[in-house]
Amino acid sequence: MLKNKNWDLFFMIVAILNVVLSFVGDKTVETIFNYEINIWTYRILWTVLAGIFLMNYRKKKNLESDINQK
Beta carbons within 10 angstroms of residue 58's beta carbon: 13
Contact 12, 54 (CB under 8 A): yes
pTM of the model: 0.83
Whole-angstrom distance, CA of residue 70 vs CA of residue 30: 48
Q: What is the pLDDT of residue 64?
A: 83
Task: Give the mean model confidence (pLDDT) for residues 41-55.
Answer: 96
Domain that holds residue 58: 5-69
Q: What is the DSSP string of the chain?
A: --TTHHHHHHHHHHHHHHHHHTTSS--SEEEETTEEEEHHHHHHHHHHHHHHHHHHHHHHHHHHHHHHH-
3-41: per-residue pLDDT in tens?
A: 677 899 999 999 999 999 999 988 999 999 999 999 999
Number of domains within the chain = 1
